Structure 1
Amino acid sequence: MAVFVALGAFLMTLFGGWVAQRVTDRRHLVLGLAGGLMLGVVGLELLPEALEAAGGEVFGVPQALLLFVGGFLVAHLVERLLAVRRAAHGASEGRVPQVGLTAAGAMVGHSLMDGIAIGAAFQVDEGMGTTVALAVVTHDFADGFNTYTLTSLYGNARRKALAMLFADAVAPVAGAASTLLFTLPEELLGSYLGFFGGALLYLAAAEILPEAHHTHPARSTLLCTVAGVAFIWLVVGIAH
C-alpha cells in the first residue's frame, strides 16, 4: 500500500518540475514562488515534525533545533568552499553548477526520507499512513518545482536538471519500498528533518529569494513568495 501511494508523489514531483520549465520567461516569479515554497516547507512542516520526533535536549536546547542550525551552517560552509574553488579557477562571475547539483541532491535525499516516512507511517496504521501520504504527495509538487529550479539556477544543463528531477520523483517510491525491510527509529527521522530544514532555509534566504529580487524587485515577486508560503500552510492544514 505504501509503495502504491508513493507513486502519487512520483507523478506530483514530475508535474512540479514541468511547471518550473514552462515559466522560464517569468524567472523572477518562479524564483519568488520557489523561495516561498521552501520557506513554508521548512517553517510549517519540517521543523515542527522534527521537534516532535526528535524530542531530546542537548544542554537545554532541543536536538532538532541544534541540527537545524547545523544544517544552515553546513550549507553556508559548502557554498563558501565552492565559491573559493570557483575564484581559484578564475571564475569570479556566475554561479557554481556544483552548488545546484548539491542542493538538488539534498532534495532527492529529502524525497527519499519522505518515502520512508510514508512507509513508516503505514507500519503504525492506515490512518496515519494516509495522513502522511497526503502531505507528502501534495508538497512533492514543491519538491519537483524546487529541484528543477535549483539545478538550472546555478547554470547546469537542462538534461542535468531533468535527471535530478527524475531522481527526485523516483526517490519517494524507493524510500517507501525500503520500509518493507526495516523499521526507522522516530528520533533518527526527526534529527534528519531538523538538519535538512536548516540547509533548505539557507538556500531559500541566502540564494533563491535574493536572486528573485535582483533584477525584478517587483511586487508580483513578493506576492509569489507569500503565495508559496500560503500554499504550504494550506497543505499542512488539510493534512492535519
Structure 2
Amino acid sequence: MAVFVALGAFLMTLAGGWTAQRVTDRRHLVLGLAGGLMLGVVGLDLLPEALEAAGREVFGVPAALLLFVAGFLVAHLVERLLAAAHGGDEHGGDEHGGDEHRRTPEVGLTAAGAMVGHSVMDGVAIGAAFQVGEGMGLAVALAVIAHDFADGFNTFTLASLYGNARRKAVAMLVADAVAPVVGAASTLFVTIPQPVLGGYLGLFGGALLYLAAAEILPEAHHRHPAGPTLLCTIAGAGFIWLVVGIAE
C-alpha cells in the first residue's frame, strides 16, 4: 500500500517539474493549498501520533517534541547552507550580467541532488506512517504528495538555473520523482520499533513544518493578492481536520 500511494508523489513531482517549464500565474494557489495541507497534517495528525508512539520523556520534555524541534532546526540549517552556497547569486552581480559568471552547473546539481535525498526520506516517512496505521499513512502521504509539487518545481528550477542543460535538469527531476517510491519500498523490508517510529515522525514533522512555513507559504504569497491564497491555505488545513475527524 505504501509503495502504491508513493506513486502519487512520483506523479506530483513530475507535475511540478512540468509546471516549472510552463509557469502560470495560478501556481500561488496550488502552493497555498499545499502549505495548508502540510500544516494540517503536522499539527492535527502527525505530531499527536508521534507523541503517542515515542512515549518517553527526555529531561522533562517528550522525545517526539525534542525531535520535532530538531527536525525544524535541521531543515533550517540545510536551507541556510544552500543559501550560502548560492550567495554569489544573491549578493553579487550587477546590471552587466555579473550573476551569470557566478552560476556554476555543479551548484545547481548539488542543490537538486539534495532535493532528491529529501524525497527519499519523504518516501520513508510514508512507509513508516503506514506501519502506525492506514489512516496515518494516508494523511502523511497526502502531505508529501502536496508538497512534492513544489519539490519537482524547485528541482528542475535549481538544476536549470545554474546553467545545466535541459536534459540534466530533466534527469534530476525524474530522480526526484522516483525517490519517494524507493524510500517507501525500503520500509517493506524493515519493521520500525514503535519508539523509533514516533521519534522519526516527530523529526519529519518538524522538517515538514519548516518547509511549509519558510518555503511553501512565503512563495505562495510572493507578489500575489493574499486573499485567495490564504483561503486555499485555510481550506487545506480544514480538509485535513475533516479527514482526521472521519478517520477517528
TM-score range, shorter chain: 0.7 to 0.9
Partner amino acid for 2:151? Answer: T
Partner amino acid for 2:34? Answer: A
> Aligned pair in 2 of structure 1 residues 236, 147: CA closer, same or farther (>3 Å)?
farther
Partner amino acid for 1:86? Answer: H
Q: What is the TM-score normalised by the length of structure 2? A: 0.75
Q: CA deviation at 1:51?
A: 0.5
The runs of 5 or more residues in structure 1 that have no matched partner are: 122-127
Q: Mapping of 1:157-176 within 5 angstroms? A: 157-176=169-188
- C-alpha distance in structure 2 between counterparts of 1:170 and 1:135, whole Å: 19
Q: Which residue of 2 aligns with 1:6?
A: 2
Q: CA deviation at 1:154?
A: 4.7
- C-alpha distance in structure 2 between counterparts of 1:30 and 1:155, whole Å: 22
- C-alpha distance in structure 2 between counterparts of 1:43 and 1:233, whole Å: 10
- C-alpha distance in structure 2 between counterparts of 1:49 and 1:102, whole Å: 28
Residues 34-84 of structure 1 deviation map (CA, whole Å, 9 limit, x = unaligned) = 211221221122211110111111221111111111111121122222222
CA RMSD of aligned residues (A): 2.9
50-59 or 76-85, which deviates more: 76-85
> Aligned pair in 2 of structure 1 residues 16, 30: CA closer, same or farther (>3 Å)?
same
Q: CA deviation at 1:152?
A: 4.3
> Aligned pair in 2 of structure 1 residues 169, 53: CA closer, same or farther (>3 Å)?
same
The runs of 5 or more residues in structure 2 that have no matched partner are: 92-98, 100-106, 161-168
Q: Which residue of 2 aligns with 1:189?
A: 197
Q: Mapping of 1:76-91 within 5 angstroms? A: 76-87=76-87, 90-91=88-89
Q: CA deviation at 1:149?
A: 4.0
- C-alpha distance in structure 2 between counterparts of 1:211 and 1:50, whole Å: 28
Alignment size in residue pairs:
222
Q: Which residue of 2 aligns with 1:111?
A: 123
Q: Which residue of 2 aligns with 1:92?
A: 90
> Aligned pair in 2 of structure 1 residues 172, 237: CA closer, same or farther (>3 Å)?
farther
> Aligned pair in 2 of structure 1 residues 235, 11: CA closer, same or farther (>3 Å)?
farther
Q: Is contact 2:122–2:144 with CA below 8 Å preserved after alignment?
A: no
Q: Is contact 2:28–2:229 with CA below 8 Å preserved after alignment?
A: yes
Larger Cα Rg: Structure 1 or Structure 2?
Answer: 2
Q: Which residue of 1 aligns with 2:155?
A: 151
- C-alpha distance in structure 1 between counterparts of 2:112 and 2:209, whole Å: 15
Q: What is the TM-score normalised by the length of structure 1? A: 0.77
109-118 or 160-169, which deviates more: 109-118
